[in-house]
Structure 1
Amino acid sequence: MSLVGPISSVAVAGVVVLFYIVSTATSHWVVTSTTSTGLWESCWGIVCGPLPDDLLTGYVKAARGLMLLAVIVAGISWILALVALIGKVTGKTKHLLCTKRFLTINALTFCATGLLVLIGTSVYAVEAMKDCGDDCSFGYSIILAWVSIPLGVVAAAMLTYFFRAMCDDA
């Protein structure tokens, strides 16, 4: 069996994890003509600093927690998929990493991280727009998080399909 499918599925999953990290870490969730605000800091022009206490509300804390949880869980799932792929290529695949149960759990985990990101970004978007009204728009950080949601579902489907074929080919 060709390894193009499994390699591409691990690459897509890696892109999802990278998108989660970048969107969580950057400070362009909500932007105005003079400022940008993220989960961790606000920027005024090129000067950035930690979020002021008046901006550190419950929905920001919730979005932080959900995004961090998504990064951690998706990262672990991606590492396990990478280990399974490397094990298959080197011929040292552990039986556990090629079971249907493991593949299903790994795919569901990627879908669950998408749900965490969806909830976190949605709550943040609704509440942030209430706070600043028409003066604000969404920045690339939150858009990147939204793009990663369907990409995570695609990664889950690819991981399941290609890894099942790869593991059945043993």
Structure 2
Amino acid sequence: MLLLLLGIVFLHVAALVLLFVSTIVSVWRQNGSYTADLWQNCSITGGACLTGSTDVWIQTVQALMILSIIFSFLALILFFCQLFTLQKGGRFFLTGTFQILASLFVMSGAIIYTVMSPQWASPKDSFGYSYILAWVAFPLALISGLIYVILRKRE
């Protein structure tokens, strides 16, 4: 049972770390000479960074990514609280709901970025590793959320 709990916590923390990295690091879109993310656009050769776009869609992606981090962090705290307060046989519905919401937020943010970014980006640009990490964090958060919903507390 302890091994199962450690695996679930590890999966949750892995998804949370991926959400942090994908939101903070400046490589959602890259080219040979610059990188762009949710917050700023940086030149690789000159090292200068400019404030990113202020369009409504990018602000929506920023908000969704921040919400996904908040909900995933709250789900982790709720899991530990429920682990000690939930009665025997109870399920971790609240924890699972928060984690599933976090996964839906990151999925929505990545979809909006995918659909809207070609309007302002060059055709030679490619998606960076932060964008890919966001897509990897989505199924990890969804799977851990579903595990929480299925999981029952045992003595």
TM-score by length of 2: 0.89
Q: Residue 132 of structure 1 aligns to which amino acid in structure 2? A: A
Query: Which structure 1 residue ranges, 5 or more long, are not aligned?
Result: 86-92
Name the stretch that deviates more: 152-161 or 62-71: 152-161
The equivalent residue for 1:5 is 4
| Cα contact 2:61–2:112 (8 A) shared by 1 | yes
Name the stretch that deviates more: 135-144 or 124-133: 124-133
The equivalent residue for 1:153 is 142
Q: 3-state DSSP class of the match of 1:107?
A: helix
- Pick closer, same or farther for the CA change 1:7–1:140 going to 2, 3 Å: same
Q: 3-state DSSP class of the match of 2:26?
A: coil
Q: Once the two structures are superposed, what CA deviation does each residue of 1:53-79 show, in whole Å capped at 9, x if it has no partner?
A: xx2211111100010011011111012
Q: CA RMSD in A?
A: 2.0
Does 2:93 match 1:95? no
Q: What is the percentage of aligned positions where both structures have the same residue? A: 23
Does 2:28 match 1:26? no
Q: 3-state DSSP class of the match of 2:123?
A: helix
Q: Once the two structures are superposed, what CA deviation does each residue of 1:85-139 show, in whole Å capped at 9, x if it has no partner?
A: 5xxxxxxx22379733xx1121122111111111111111211112224121100
Count of residue pairs the alignment pairs up? 154
**CA positional deviation for 1:84:** 4.3
CA distance in 1, matches of 2:17, 2:38: 17
Where do residues 27-42 of structure 1 align in structure 2 (5 Å cutoff)? 27-42=26-41
Q: 3-state DSSP class of the match of 1:132?
A: coil
CA distance in 1, matches of 2:11, 2:77: 13
TM-score by length of 1: 0.82
The equivalent residue for 2:13 is 14
Q: 3-state DSSP class of the match of 2:35?
A: strand
The equivalent residue for 2:59 is 61
Which of 143, 158, 164 in structure 1 is aligned with 2:132?
Answer: 143
Where do residues 41-80 of structure 1 align in structure 2 (5 Å cutoff)? 41-45=40-44, 47-52=47-52, 55-80=53-78
